[in-house]
Structure 1
Amino acid sequence: MRRVLVLTLLFLNFTFSQEYLIKVATIAPDGSTWIKVLREYDSQIRKESNGRIGFKIYAGGVAGDEIDVLKKIRIGQYHAAGFTGVGIGEIAPNLRVLDSPFLFKSYDEVDYIYQKFNDEFEREIERGGFVLLGWAEVGFVYTFTKTPVYGIDDLKKLKMWAWQGDPIAEAAYKVIGITPVPLSITEVLTSLQTGIIDGVYGSPLAILATQWFTRVKYMHDVPLSNASGALLISKRYFDSLPKDLQEILLKNGRKYMRKLVELSREENKNAIETLKRNGIMITEPSSKKVLSEYDEVGKKIRRELVGKVFSQIWLDKIEKAVEEYRKSNQKLGN
């Protein structure tokens, strides 16, 4: 009996002292704010769990692009990853509505929608086999080009890049009337250098980090979309963790990913000033009519995506909520 008790105690001791090392992949480069915050998150969960859980971070795309990483997570090679809308869309297609062109006009609108529908978003992600640790948006995306753009007609004259395999980019260009050049992210800089493309899109911070700004001259000051992002973990792996470690992961995930969102917004704002200092010129829409044209194009693009990427039900409820928020804030004088 005593021997059984000793063995039981040894087993329990092993169980509670075992370290769970979560392999996390991201395309964010080492040294970036994304990685700095992720390391803070790692440090905190190690501290709170007395070293029982932590991250092993694979930065800079060493694990492959998002689709590659997704496949590797599903076979257990990695456990979690930072995804943009492209990866999120493979897991929970309806959530790609959040990346819809010309849907949001401010971060206040973005925050309202994410808070209002967070529980539904989480359920969609879980149905895709993942658990949300925290939202980590890329930020508002703009067009950056070699020649000035003042409206849609100017865009039509350009050889625009499209992220290969991204249905939202494909639909947007189709509605606008552009035949894009589909390329992976790793091919973009070389293609700008060789003239294969003369226009790209991205957040100001991303344009700086990728060095694409060295091959363009203009930024068109109309946000195309607010690019979504999230830190997701395999549900199968998450469910295998002890409950107390799950709680530590979730609690700190919300905290540190929100910190990342706030830092990213500030850095994107600062990045625009850095781009200006590096010779990038900002172009404004030529008239209010042009802004209305962008809104109409946005609606057409979203309709084009219904049934192909997300459902009509999801589009309707998100658009309705955005419109209600705008009307409410207009009444308040905001």
Structure 2
Amino acid sequence: MRKMWLTAALLVCVSVQAQESAKVRLGTLAPRGTSWHKSLLEMGEKWRAAQGPGSAFIVYTDGSQGGEADMVRRMRVGQLNAALLSVVGLSEIDDSASVLQKMPMVFRSWDELDFLREKLRPRLEQRFFDKGFVVLFWGDAGWVRFFSKEAALHPADYRRMKVFTWAGDNPQVDIMKALGYQPVVLEISDILPGLQTGMINMVPSTPFYALVGQFYGHAPYMLDMNWVPIVGAVVITRKAWEGMTPAAQKALREAADVAGTQLRAISRRENEEAVEAMKKRGLKVQPITPEIEAEWRAMAERAYPLIRGKMVPAELFDEVQQLLQEYRAGQARVPR
């Protein structure tokens, strides 16, 4: 009788584990109804069809599972098993991803970012795999531009402002202070209340997110300069990945490749459209001259020694600089 009870208990445990492996719970800060949300649902539906009966792919939008650091913690304890994260969240897993986002004014075009990402992708994904996560696809969400309550053009103009800084990005706080700026650490969900109450008066943001989050109504001046790209990825825990059928893994890989390609194109277009939409509603775009751009580039370069080895692994920082030099030299030789 005792043996029979033990066998029954074992079967129950196996059944529960199988049910859990047939559920993907994915967290994201992306708002419900956006292109990101829709693409994640489409990707999940293709996986669910391959995984079979009883499977479910649940997407928690709008930061309902907390900030990005919270979502990483939830994945580690099994409350979530996947997430769409920016580099801020990805760096909670492995700091190598920071090389794609945390080097201001290093990338001059999407072509340069695409080139670097594909060059480094196998190594980055192996580092995440070694930490217990599988990268499904890489995406980006536009160039960060500066939205402020007051008109501003020069680096010095922003030193008197209270600047939103993403919670969990402590090295960035230290660097901003070292350069004479006033960072205010908040979760992304607190940006609008922070602008409304005066807690902050400058927000580095992509145009699309400034439109969706309604930041531009309280920070109606946008500096027309590409600071850094917002880069992200969808990751899933190895435990969840290895609990899937081979057919489901294949379907998810294929769907993720399609979603990544589509979303990169869509998000780049949507950001340009967002600028035009906000201009119609009162956004004042602050164009910069080559001289002002040179001021910003000089300031960014002063930050590089503080970034190298602290926010971005030193060997990757150096490699990116070298690869970009080679890429630009090659582009310069291409007949126009």
Deviation at 1:128, TM superposition (A): 2.3
The Cα offsets for residues 222-278 of structure 1, whole Å up to 9 and x where unpaired, read as 111001111000112212222222222112111112211111111111001011111
Matched, 1:221 2:224: yes
How does 1:171-320 map onto structure 2 within 5 Å? Answer: 171-285=174-288, 287-320=289-322
Distance 1:30 1:220, change over 3 A: same
Matched, 1:89 2:72: no
Amino acid of the structure 1 residue aligned with 2:65: A
Matched, 1:122 2:121: no
Matched, 1:104 2:103: no
Matched, 1:22 2:19: no
Aligned partner of 2:46 among 14, 22, 44: 44
Amino acid of the structure 1 residue aligned with 2:246: K
d(CA) in 1 for partners of 2:308, 2:139: 25
1:171–1:304 CA contact under 8 A, matched in 2: no
| Worse overlay, 140-149 or 38-47 | 38-47
The Cα offsets for residues 96-115 of structure 1, whole Å up to 9 and x where unpaired, read as 12112112111111111111
| Worse overlay, 35-44 or 263-272 | 35-44
Amino acid of the structure 1 residue aligned with 2:314: Q
2:80 — aligned with what? 78
d(CA) in 2 for partners of 1:302, 1:127: 28
2:10 — aligned with what? none
Deviation at 1:206, TM superposition (A): 0.6
Amino acid of the structure 1 residue aligned with 2:260: M
1:152–1:176 CA contact under 8 A, matched in 2: no
Q: Secondary structure of the equivalent of 1:224?
A: coil
2:4 — aligned with what? none
d(CA) in 2 for partners of 1:51, 1:192: 47
| Worse overlay, 218-227 or 307-316 | 307-316
Aligned partner of 1:67 among 69, 87, 112: 69
Deviation at 1:308, TM superposition (A): 2.0
The percent identity for this pair of structures is 28
1:166 — aligned with what? 169
Amino acid of the structure 1 residue aligned with 2:320: I
TM-score normalised by structure 1 residue count: 0.89
Deviation at 1:175, TM superposition (A): 4.8
Amino acid of the structure 1 residue aligned with 2:40: L
Q: Secondary structure of the equivalent of 1:222?
A: coil
Deviation at 1:299, TM superposition (A): 2.7
Amino acid of the structure 2 residue aligned with 1:289: E
Q: Secondary structure of the equivalent of 2:225?
A: strand
Deviation at 1:27, TM superposition (A): 1.1
Question: Once superposed, what is the RMSD of the aligned Cα atoms?
Answer: 2.1
Distance 1:167 1:105, change over 3 A: farther
The Cα offsets for residues 300-322 of structure 1, whole Å up to 9 and x where unpaired, read as 32321223233211100112112
1:147 — aligned with what? 150
Distance 1:96 1:167, change over 3 A: farther
| Worse overlay, 275-284 or 18-27 | 18-27
Deviation at 1:172, TM superposition (A): 4.8
1:150–1:220 CA contact under 8 A, matched in 2: yes
Amino acid of the structure 1 residue aligned with 2:317: L
Deviation at 1:34, TM superposition (A): 0.8
Deviation at 1:49, TM superposition (A): 4.3
Unpaired runs of 5+ in structure 2?
1-14
d(CA) in 1 for partners of 2:109, 2:234: 22
